[in-house]
Amino acid sequence: MSEENEPITRIITPVHVEYTYTPGVASERFLRGVREGKLLGGACDACGRVYVPSRGACPRCAAPTSEFRELSDKGTVITFCVVRVPAENIDVELPYCTASILLDGADISFTGLIQGCPFEEVRIGMRVQAVWKPEAEWDFSIGNIQHFEPNSEADVPFEDIKEYS
């Protein structure tokens, strides 16, 4: 079969979009907190669950999350994966480990890179601590946290975190 008769199975069509992100009240509060090195969760007015970042309403009750609480930058690994596939918009050397982390005081997990230990040591229930960029580099971005790394605290038993898995 000549090249001109071969079926076209793939085309590349680069697209570039610029847009202005309007975070809304709850996300703005979260981003302003991050700018100061604080992780602010929003507590549901009805059930009390704490979301980080909060979107302004509880996904379970649809009630507002009016109260903001400063959360710890320590947490527990709920689940994780080792990424070996490159992505154009992620500037992290392969392979890397990303995890769902339940910050202390939160009721929803938060995604973060895990570094500071071999992948083989990352496990569900492992306690981790945020490693922040130098304060002079802080911006309105969750990128202020470079990664999470293990701390010396004992693992959390699966029974205590299974509802978040």
The neighbour count for residue 21, using CB atoms within 10 Å, is 7
60 vs 123, beta carbon nearer Zn ion: 60
Q: In angstroms, give the least distance from the CB of 52 to Zn ion.
A: 14
- Check binding of 67 to Zn ion (CB under 5 A): no
Residue closer to Zn ion by CB (options 73, 107) is 107
How far is Cα 106 from Cα 165, in angstroms, rounded to an integer? 14
Cα(38)–Cα(83) distance, integer angstroms? 28
Q: Tell me if 44 contacts Zn ion by CB under 5 A.
A: yes
Candidates 57, 61, 83, 108: give the one binding Zn ion (CB under 5 A): 61
Q: Is 66 in the site for Zn ion (CB under 5 A)?
A: no
Find all residues with CB under 8 Å of 39, minimum gap 6, and list them: 30, 33, 52, 70, 71, 72, 73, 103, 130
Q: In the complex, which residues of this chain contact Zn ion (CB under 5 A)?
A: 44, 46-47, 58, 60-61
